[in-house]
Amino acid sequence: ASFTYVTAQITATGSIAQKALSTPAFPVSFEFGCWTGLITILLCSMLGGMRSVTWSQVAQYIVLIIAYLIPIFWISWKYNYGIFPHIMLGDEVTRLAALEQQYGLTKHTKDVLDAAKIPSDSLGNATSLKYIVSGHSTVPAGHEIAWRYISLALCMMIGTASLPHILMRYFTTPTVTSARRSVGWSLFFIGLLYLSAPMLATVSKISLMDPNVPTAIIGKKIADVTQIEWVKNWLAVGQVKIVDFNNDGILQLSEWFMNEDVVVLATPEIAGLPYVISGLVAAGGLAAAMSTADGLILAMANAISHDIYYKMIDPKASVKQRLIVARVLLVVLGSGAAIMASFKLTGILGAVAWAFDFAMSGLFFPLVLGVWWKRATRSGAIAGMLCGLIAGTAYLVWVGVPNKDITFFMGA
């Protein structure tokens, strides 16, 4: 679970580094961005221990939450979406659904998408570059769609409660009372961030689609849209694509494709905010990825060096030897995650979902039973983790992983 999660974070740093470091004369590949991000993450992890990583994550969260909330409130104030945009989310989703009906969303077949060089799955759904909407006005009714959302919510909640790098944080508190208090504050700050994500995505889509705002591009001439500065920048790095399927020269809703991983980075530019806000959002995204990756890599390295190397391989190892092993593991695990991120098996959201799937299926039940069931044993916990991991992996295989071109190192 932790390895899959850190792969998602390195994928995020790769996208941000590609955007930040690319110039017209020297375009930077996604793979180069991943390895650059890994070096930065390792510098934060290797120069200190748990305490330094904890305090660095505090600073990174401050940058992150400021970078996340400023665009939301700024856009909401600029286009009269409400003083408290989080409360008005329902109204804005209804507004988005009305815009979808106005423009019409025509999902093309797999053959049409493949001919336009838009990666798609067997059902004709675009994969890396996607439609900016998913049919809010035509959500099917019935128990199946309700169960999908309920199961997703359960998976995310249970997976969060099982992630090792989060649980390790509470070991740094001096007393049981302070540990419980830290759980409450953690939920508050995590909730503040997660509840903002849907609003940010919604205002970003409305900024692209609403004809009443000056930033809208849907329904405009494609020749004019391609001359917009932010559109040109994202087209240049392959994160945006325009395909005039009906050759009318007008950008339709189903002719604009965008990588979902860069929506947050592009939102300030889409909404016409000052460029400094774009830089702030990029810094916030980098802080989010780095803070999470720091904790994940440190948790994995410490667990392997202590539980496997020290407990099973060399019980007489000195503190210095164990520290060296932990530092080597940081590099090995980080490099492995960077290589996996370069494969582009899925996007950031997909990799995060995989991590929560593994955490829920493999870790949650042994953790709960180990605390509350007196008959729980080490063998039972290991068996439960293995069975859960097999079940989670089987589910992912059943869902399917799209075929991808594999690139190992900096585009090679």
Rounded mean pLDDT, 215-244: 86
At 404 the pLDDT is: 43
340 vs 291 pLDDT, higher one: 340
Spatial distance between the Cα atoms of 13 and 10, rounded to a whole number of angstroms: 5
Domain boundaries, the chain: 2-399
Torsion angle defined by CA atoms of residues 150, 151, 156 and 158, in that order, rounded to the nearest 10 degrees: 110
At 18 the pLDDT is: 77
Confidence of residue 138 (pLDDT cuts 50, 70, 90): very low
Kindly report the backbone phi and psi dihedral angles of residue 91, in degrees, each rounded to the nearest multiple of 5, phi listed first. Answer: -65, -40
Give the burial string for 339-368 (b: 16+ CB within 10 Å, else e): bbbbbbbbbbebbbbbbbbbbbbbbbbbbe
For the domain spanning 2-399, the CATH number is 1.20.1730.10
C-alpha pair distances (Å), 323 with each of 28, 306, 310: 35, 10, 11
Spatial distance between the Cα atoms of 349 and 107, rounded to a whole number of angstroms: 21
At 409 the pLDDT is: 34
Spatial distance between the Cα atoms of 315 and 327, rounded to a whole number of angstroms: 18
Listing from the earlier edge strand, what are the strands of the sheet with 129-131?
A: 129-131, 256-259, 240-242
At 12 the pLDDT is: 80
pLDDT 10s digits, 317-355: 888 888 888 888 888 888 888 888 887 776 677 777 778
Confidence of residue 207 (pLDDT cuts 50, 70, 90): confident
Rounded mean pLDDT, 288-294: 77
pLDDT of 123 higher than 50: no
88 vs 267 pLDDT, higher one: 267
pLDDT of 191 higher than 70: yes
pLDDT of 82 higher than 80: no
Mean pLDDT value across the chain: 78
pLDDT 10s digits, 17-31: 777 777 667 777 888
At 106 the pLDDT is: 67
Rounded mean pLDDT, 61-90: 82
Confidence of residue 411 (pLDDT cuts 50, 70, 90): very low
> pTM of whole model > 0.95?
no
Of the segments 15-19, 162-166, 368-372, 396-400, which one has the largest average pLDDT value?
368-372
